[in-house]
Chains A and B, each alone.
Chain A
Amino acid sequence: MLEVGNLACSRGDHRLFSGLCFTLQPGQIMQVQGANGSGKTSLLRTLCGFLQPDEGEILWRGKLVGDLGEDYYAELLYLGHLNAIKDELNALENLQMSAGLAGYTVTEKQAVAALRRMGLQRREHLPVKVLSQGQRRRVALARLLTSDAHLWILDEPLTALDVGAVGLMQELIGEHLSKGGMAIFTTHQPLQVAGVETRQLSLS
């Protein structure tokens, strides 16, 4: 369970938001809404611990995330604007490396299966630099399939994705929630997970 209490965040002298409170229970999904520059990404980065909040606290399973440190990170999967994939490596190597950085190993078979599910058949051994933007995003998203993290923090996961991939994402998030996972995301496109109500958080 993720609890956020009285959170305030600013960039420079500009106060982005303050007094933000919400609780996310297992199986719940929340969309962060707001205009460009309203602090959606800053909120997600604060939840990841990249930014220090001005005020307020973030609790994971009842403990401050600052105190949990690496135990919190083990249960967290963050996908930002940047894909965190290397042009020089192929899709398979990229997936295995990012799994490694997240602290677990995936076998080649698991990685290939994940990439196939993301619609990257016969692209596994191509250097990522020859893939299109949408395909690169799919390589990055394949991490969702190999990870067993409970909390997914997704910043604009649907950028550059086609309709089919958006449908696949909805399916993946649905499976994740049904296993008791949680997800927070930002998007400017509609994303509805069947059978689950998407909670809305508006920053203004």
Chain B
Amino acid sequence: MKKLSLLGLLGLVLRRDLLLAMRRRADVLTTLIFFVMVVSLFPLGVGPEIDMLRKMASGVVWVAALLASMLSLPRMFSADYADGTLEQMMLAPQSLSVLVLGKIAAHWMLSGLPLALIAPVLGLQFDMSVPALWILVIALLLGTPVLSMIGAVGAALTLGLRGGGVLVSLLVLPLCIPVLIFGAGAVEAVNSGMSVVSNLSFLGAFMLFALVFTPFVAAQALRISME
């Protein structure tokens, strides 16, 4: 019998969550379709005023991404909680934080990554310039992992509560405001001809900061929820 290393376990959780998502595709598509719909409704509602659309583009995309990533958060741990897998994860002979990190990574690949990849297509509806589209994708790639990581803490804290879905949004959305500000700010900076480095650096810093702390905090929150 071969023992599993820390990285092996991380890979296993990641593979498992992706496999489960492939068998249950509707959940993944819900997030993506919600994002596409919300972003597409704005040009229709606002009308064909190019200048106004161009100005609001980054804000709309970011707010929609934020809301879309909230959609799938309540499901992050609830299925594992309901069928007892979470109990087994706590008894894993490796740190629970690593398992949580695996689940966060899977959540991001299924919610954040598709949004970032489809965002340029949606950005065209707002007549965004090509450099702005590039920065939008980079900012989303840096920012959406933070949403998944902060979201994991919220999801773990509200696990097993009735109406947890609403509560998790109330908990998590205020904490995501800095990501929204700097993410949208990066695209604004391109449009006004300023350097985007500071905005992207802030997003990167948020990501690293969250990477260090949130898996541990979420793991502790899960332990409390299991009592």
| Contact code string B56-87 (vs A, CB < 8 Å = 1, else 0) | 00000000000000000000000000111101
B44 touches A (CB below 8 Å): no
Taking a contact as CB atoms under 8 Å apart, the answer to whether A70 and B94 are in contact is yes
B66 to chain A: closest CB distance in Å?
A: 29
Taking a contact as CB atoms under 8 Å apart, the answer to whether A78 and B91 are in contact is yes
Selected from B1, B23, B99, B227, the residue in CB contact (under 8 A) with A88 is B23
Q: Which residue of B lies closest to A48 (CB)?
A: B91
Cα–Cα, bound, A49→B2 (Å): 25
* Interface of A: prevailing SS: loop
Task: State which size class the interface on B falls in.
Answer: 20 to 34
Which residues in chain B, 116-140, are within 8 Å of chain A measured between CB atoms? none
Which residues in chain A, 76-101, are within 8 Å of chain B measured between CB atoms? 76, 78, 80-89, 93, 97-98, 100-101
Cα–Cα, bound, A114→B167 (Å): 43
A102 touches B (CB below 8 Å): yes
Q: Which residues of B contact A51 (CB under 8 A)?
A: 227
* Interface of B: prevailing SS: helix
Taking a contact as CB atoms under 8 Å apart, the answer to whether B88 and A103 are in contact is no
B141 to chain A: closest CB distance in Å?
A: 29
Taking a contact as CB atoms under 8 Å apart, the answer to whether B19 and A93 are in contact is yes
Chain A: residues with Cβ within 8 Å of the partner, total of 33
Selected from A50, A81, A87, A98, the residue in CB contact (under 8 A) with B226 is A50
Selected from A74, A82, A88, A146, the residue in CB contact (under 8 A) with B93 is A74
A61 to chain B: closest CB distance in Å?
A: 15
Selected from A49, A70, A103, the residue in CB contact (under 8 A) with B3 is A103
Q: Which residues of A contact B1 (CB under 8 A)?
A: 104-106, 146, 148
Cα–Cα, bound, A88→B3 (Å): 26
Q: Which residue of A lies closest to B227 (CB)?
A: A51
Which residues in chain B, 10-33, are within 8 Å of chain A measured between CB atoms? 12-13, 16, 19-20, 23-24
B19 to chain A: closest CB distance in Å?
A: 7
Interface, chain B (partner A; CB < 8 A): 1-4, 8-9, 12-13, 16, 19-20, 23-24, 82-85, 87-95, 99, 226-227
